[in-house]
Chain A
Amino acid sequence: MVDTLPPLSLYIHTPWCVRKCPYCDFNSHEPDTHGFTPRDLPEAAYLDALLQDLDGDLALAAGREIQTIFIGGGTPSLLSPAFYARLLTEIEARLPFANPIEITLEANPGTTEQQRFIGYREAGINRLSLGIQSFQPAQLHALGRIHSGQEAVTAVTQARQAGFTNINVDLMHGLPEQTPQLAMDDIEQALALAPEHLSWYQLTLEPNTAFHSHPPILPEEESLWDIQDSGHQLLEQAGFKRYEISAYAHIGHQSRHNLNYWQFGDYLGIGAGAHGKLSYIDQSGEWCIERRWKTRQPDAYLKRMNDLRGFVAGKQLISVDELPLEFAMNALRLTEGVTLNTWRTHTGQSDAMLLARLQSAEKKGLLMQMPEKLRASPQGLLFLNELLASICDESSVKSDQR
């Protein structure tokens, strides 16, 4: 039965940052407020906790091969190479690794040095994701970043020297006081570093962030549109291919880990506040998909060591009714979409059940008319939220009829 389940990835969360950025709504915490310094994090305790956390998830995942690992944060590069070396060894002792496996580490250009990169590479990490965001002092300052543009350049150089051949650069656009020209300069500088992958996000103001309560002045809508349009062209001209709303890559360098999310694959999530999604076949032969999430606060998470409650803060089965939306939310982010077969193999449900929910989106011209494919039209990619909301609508119509 196990071979029929979707591919499995592993997400590892590290919850600490030197400084919380005002736009960031991830589960990240400044260690100072928790009694540590960024150079003196409770690595040993966290490592033990992560492994115990993983052991708690093994019941449903034992024997399944791990395709990719992504270490995100927070700022994973605050933790030492030795930490990761041991962590990855221990994980492999519990779950088989695919060959080749993709192991990504997120790094902040302000927290790295040559030795660390070498250590990470030696620990088995083979992909780096650098949170550069911008190269311009004004924008970096507005974003509250702890590094300069020059440090970002240095970080990439060091990573290359350490042997990383698969590097992602995170860039943001639509930043405070950013003109279209400044945004293009950022892209040009990123391209000069020749990354394999480029994640290019528009800054959005999320709830529970400093920016949400004290919003910065952002470029006007037409200017944003201009940035998006020119930036896209610039990237494509440089040989990058946009494969997801905000993700660009050279051929063969798409993020396998993120692709697995967007194709509705399975993933374990360990670490403070990590989310996982796991499919399994229950005793009655029913296909079940469970989401579970872990205790969020780093201190509380550490205290769950040897606690009978375990690390899980909550779990929920995705009801069959929710599947079309859950699937589309992910799959339709991919510019090429997915095949209908992906729906079948990743949810265990019939095509008809999905197609019934897509009718109004189809009518609005938000989907491509391609048999055996689920893919947003160019308009659908621009208005993905509209598209998804129309899927919700149908589910509500259906439940109302009941």
Chain B
Amino acid sequence: MTQENDSKIKHIRNFSIIAHIDHGKSTLSDRLIQTCEGLTERELKEQVLDSMDIERERGITIKAQSVTLDYTAADGQVYQLNFIDTPGHVDFSYEVSRSLYACEGALLVVDAAQGVEAQSVANCYTAIEQGLEVLPVLNKIDLPQADCDKVSQEIEEIIGLDATDACRVSAKSGIGIDTLLERLVRDIPPPKGDPDAPLQALIIDSWFDNYLGVVSLVRLFDGTLRKGDKIRIKSTGRDWGTTEVGIFTPQRKQTNILRAGEVGFIVAGIKEIHGAPVGDTITHTKTPDVARLPGFQKVKPQVYAGMFPVSADDYEDFRDALEKLALNDASLEYVPENSDALGFGFRVGFLGTLHMEIVQERLEREYNIDLLTTAPTVVYELAMKNGDVNYVSNPSKLPDMADVDEMREPVVRASILVPQEYVGNVITECEQRRGTQRDMQFLGNQIQLAYELPMSEVVMDFFDRLKSISKGYASLEYNFERFEEAKLVRLDVLINGDKVDALAVIIHRDHAHPRGRLLVEKMKELIPRQMFDVAIQAAIGGQVVARSTVKALRKNVTAKCYGGDVSRKKKLLEKQKAGKKRMKQVGRVEIPQDAFLAVLKVND
């Protein structure tokens, strides 16, 4: 390695920020960018890294992004800081590990007023496991409720990280940022790697850009990549010519070269993200034998829901929109689904319910498609009597139970961190959701609970519920543990005797009756009266467990209509017709969309 190269790599620092939502990661990254003058004041938009509208509105990061900053340290040397952003929600934890993989260090940012949260603990362990240097940072120290000593102690007790000399900053007011940058340069090791060795680069992320095609964020472990180089994607074996090479500052900036240890982007005329899979290795065409880097595990959707366009005319647009979304979201899976009640749509797999909400929101907002989404369901394992094992992610596709030997549901191990005063609420909630306590530890002022819970209970609204019963303090992290036999049944909804496939749910037998009762009552409120009585039944197998009736209207006719007001009466009819268009027909019964959403809302 040449002296010059050696010096270059020694001045690189690749790092991520691990932080819980609201703990100030975005503010801190903005502050870092600004301090290093990556952006002028005028250019500094709030939360520059969270570029999607929805990310900004919800204050969360969904996709990993990066920014390269030049920092002139106290020693007079210029360091290249590559900050790789990580998502902060439990649904997207897999994205975190892949961001961390490209780094040598991480800042663990903890709100000095709130203390450590479960999500951060899990991510921090991942970082430590991957051999990263983790720097604890206490943020928001200028808040009156900040208690730095207590939080430092928590970090030590919960995570086991020495926090005696943790950086104390206020990203908002700029306190301690200079010290933090100095510590970052001092404590986080430079990457290793040889710019003269054959190219070995990891794809951290790929996304589709309407003008450029696929853009990939890469970390070079060895070698040097220049614009115009012929490269090979290891898994596909396909060769491409690089047309753009550069860094994010955070705007895309072409540098035409990336060296070992650096993080940046490449564009190589690839038309779909599957052509540059996340976790894959890139090398030069001329060095095809370079080893593949250990990639990432492909994430599997955990939650499935049917999505149907409200207007059948939107089906094609919906399919195109899903295709486009999937270009940038490798975790999104979809297959066509045909519902008797809702017509043609797709069964879509998501990482969690937040992911589902975001996808639905993007489809509706960016692609202008009105959608009906059915109740989300997890994947069940069925041991069949003939010895087969099947997986079902759609209640209406459940086979004849006579052929099923055993039905198993996914169980997760959930780790919940909660201040002592709310622990009673949390335990009650977990018990109601069929949880089994596995561990309980007192860590400073907080309690760490470990529970095994059916995944179906966790994905629905558990996270929101936890937040609301703990004044927002409880935090959650969970992982799939195993499939476990459970007394599961399918709860069907029948409207005037017709089964409505889109309303079926798989549910624990003990919960089926009360839920059936709630559901039919809710549906009764939402289905308008029609020309005939509408019977709503909830049933398990052939057994009706709850029923209610929407009484028939006596009549629906306009009392007066003469020549003069025909156009007004016509407008009323057209309104009625527009309302009907939004209804779905089940047998003779017209059902408004709201009624389909009732399944999701029976807990309200």
Max chain B Cβ within 10 angstroms of own Cβ: one of A202, A224, A364: A202
Which of A44-52, A179-187, A302-310, A379-387 makes up part of the contact surface? A379-387
- B556 contacts A393, C-beta separation under 8 Å: no
Q: Provide the bound-state CA to CA distance between A293 and B561, in Å.
A: 16
Interface residue? B387 (CB, 8 A): no
- Measured CB to CB, the closest approach of chain B to A370, in angstroms, equals 20
Contact call B554/A330, Cβ cutoff below 8 A = no
List the one stretch of A234-242, A267-275, A338-346 in contact with chain B: A267-275
Shortest beta-carbon distance from B566 to chain A in Å: 7
A224 to B581 CA separation, bound complex (whole angstroms): 30
Chain B contacts with A in 268-292, Cβ cutoff 8 A:
none
Question: Is the CB–CB distance between B564 and A400 below 8 Å?
Answer: no
Kindly identify which residue among A245, A274, A291 contacts B559, using a CB–CB cutoff of 8 Å.
Answer: A245
Would A393 and B563 count as touching, CB distance under 8 A? no
Selected from A225, A275, A381, the residue in CB contact (under 8 A) with B554 is: A225
CA distance A245 to B562 in the complex (A): 12
Distance, CA A93 to CA B429, complexed state (A): 87
Return the chain B residue nearest A174 by Cβ.
B559
Given pairs A325-B570, A326-B570, A364-B531, 13 additional interface contacts (CB within 8 A): A203-B559, A245-B558, A258-B562, A269-B563, A273-B564, A275-B563, A277-B563, A291-B566, A291-B567, A383-B555, A384-B558, A389-B576, A392-B574
* With A383-B557, A392-B577 as contacts: A261 and B562 at CB distance below 8 Å: yes
Decide if A388 is an interface residue (CB 8 Å cutoff): yes
B588 within 8 A of A: yes
Q: Within 8 Å of chain A (Cβ to Cβ): is B580?
A: yes
Complex: how many Å from CA A325 to CA B577?
A: 12
Q: Which residues of B contact A11 (CB under 8 A)?
A: 563-564
B559 lies within 8 A of A386 (CB): no
Judge whether B298 is part of the interface by a CB distance below 8 angstroms.
no
Given contacts A382-B557, A384-B557, contact A267 B563 (CB under 8 A): yes
Known: A201-B559, A221-B554, A384-B556. A396 touches B573 (CB 8 A): no
Residue of A nearest to B558 (CB): A385
For the complex, count residues of A whose C-beta is within 8 A of B: 42
Is the pair B560, A389 in contact by a Cβ cutoff of 8 Å?
no
> Which residues of chain A come closer than 8 Å to B566, judged between CB atoms?
275, 277, 291, 326, 329-330
CB of B573, distance to nearest CB on chain A (Å): 5
Produce 1/0 per residue, B522-548, CB < 8 A to A: 000000000100000000000000000
Residues in B132-150 with C-beta less than 8 Å from chain A? none
Is A204 in the interface zone, CB < 8 Å from B? Answer: yes
For the complex, what is the distance from the CA of A203 to the CA of B559, rounded to whole Å?
Answer: 8
Which of B557, B580, B588 has the most chain A CB atoms inside 10 A of its CB? B557
Asked whether any CB of chain A lies closer than 8 Å to the CB of B565, the reply is yes
Whose C-beta in chain B lies nearest to the C-beta of A397? B581
A29 interface residue per 8 A CB criterion: no
Q: How far, in angstroms, from A274 to B563 measured CA to CA in the complex?
A: 9
**Given known A385-B573, A385-B576, contact A379–B567 (CB-CB < 8 A):** no
> Is B577 a contact partner of A396 (Cβ separation < 8 A)?
yes
A333 partner, pick from B554, B561, B576, beta carbons under 8 A: B561
CA distance A203 to B569 in the complex (A): 16
Query: Once the chains are docked, how many angstroms separate the CA of A392 from the CA of B575?
Result: 10
Which chain B residues lie closer than 8 Å to A382 at the CB level? 531, 554-557
Chain A nearest CB from B242 CB (Å) reads 47
Please name all residues of chain A whose beta carbon is closer than 8 Å to the beta carbon of B556 when the two chains form the complex.
382-386
CA distance A373 to B301 in the complex (A): 59
For B579, the closest partner residue in chain A by CB is A389
- In the assembled complex, which residues on chain B have CB atoms less than 8 Å from the CB atom of A261? 562-563
Please give the distance in Å from A389's CB to the nearest CB on chain B. 5
Kindly state the separation between the CA atoms of A203 and B573 in the bound complex, as whole angstroms: 19
A268-291 vs B: 1/0 string, CB under 8 Å? Answer: 010001111100000000000001
Residue picked from B313, B555, B561, B566, most chain A C-beta under 10 Å: B555
Q: Which 5 A-B pairs have the closest CB atoms?
A: A392-B577, A382-B555, A384-B557, A275-B564, A261-B563
Residues 145-157 of A, flagged 1 when their CB comes within 8 A of B and 0 if not, give 0000000000000
Residue of A nearest to B588 (CB): A364
Q: Is A246 an interface residue (CB 8 A)?
A: yes
CA distance A203 to B313 in the complex (A): 40
Cα–Cα, bound, A201→B558 (Å): 10
Provide the bound-state CA to CA distance between A396 and B564, in Å.
25
- Cα–Cα distance between A386 and B556 once the two chains are bound (Å): 7
Assembled-state Cα–Cα distance A126/B295 (Å): 95
Q: A379-B531, A383-B556 are in contact. Are A389 and B563 (CB under 8 A)?
A: no
Cβ of B54 to closest chain A Cβ, rounded Å = 31
Interface 1/0s, chain B 310-343, versus A by CB < 8 A? 0001000000000000000000000000000000
Assess the B567–A389 pair: CB atoms within 8 A.
Answer: no
Q: In the bound complex, how far is the Cα of B560 from the Cα of A325, in angstroms?
A: 17
Q: In the complex, which residues of chain A have a beta carbon less than 8 angstroms from the beta carbon of B564?
A: 11, 13, 269, 273-275
Q: Is the CB of B561 within 8 A of A330?
A: yes
Q: Are B570 and A329 in contact (CB under 8 A)?
A: yes
Residues of B within 8 A of A228 (CB): 555
Interface string of B564-600 (1 = CB under 8 A from A): 1111011001101100110000001000000000000
Residues of B within 8 A of A204 (CB): 558-560
* Residue contact B557 to A201, C-beta cutoff 8 Å: no
A89 CB, nearest partner CB in chain B, Å: 24
**Are B577 and A329 in contact, CB atoms less than 8 angstroms apart?**
no
Q: Give the Cβ gap from B318 to chain A, nearest Cβ, in Å.
A: 16
What CA separation (Å) do A245 and B580 show in the bound complex? 24
B557 touches A381 (CB 8 A): yes
A329 touches B569 (CB 8 A): yes
Q: Cβ of A291: which chain B residues have Cβ within 8 Å of it?
A: 566-567
Task: Contact check, B561 vs A329: say whether CB atoms are below 8 A apart.
Answer: yes
Question: With A and B bound together, what is the CA distance between A287 and B569 in angstroms?
Answer: 24
When each residue 361-402 of chain A gets 1 if its CB lies under 8 Å from chain B and 0 otherwise, what string results? 000100000000000000101111110110011001000100
Question: CB-CB contacts of A221-236 with B at 8 A, as 1s and 0s?
Answer: 1001100100000000
- By a CB distance below 8 angstroms, the chain A residues around B565 are 275
With a CB–CB cut-off of 8 A, which chain B residues contact A326? 566, 570
A111 to B603, CA, bound (A): 62
Could you tell me if B580 and A389 are in contact, using CB atoms closer than 8 angstroms?
Answer: yes
Contact (Cβ within 8 A) B557 A385: yes
> Could you say which residues of chain A place their CB within 8 Å of the CB of B574?
392
Report B442-479 CB contacts with A as 1/0, cut-off 8 Å: 00000000000000000000000000000000000000
* A203–B576 alpha-carbon span in the complex (Å): 20
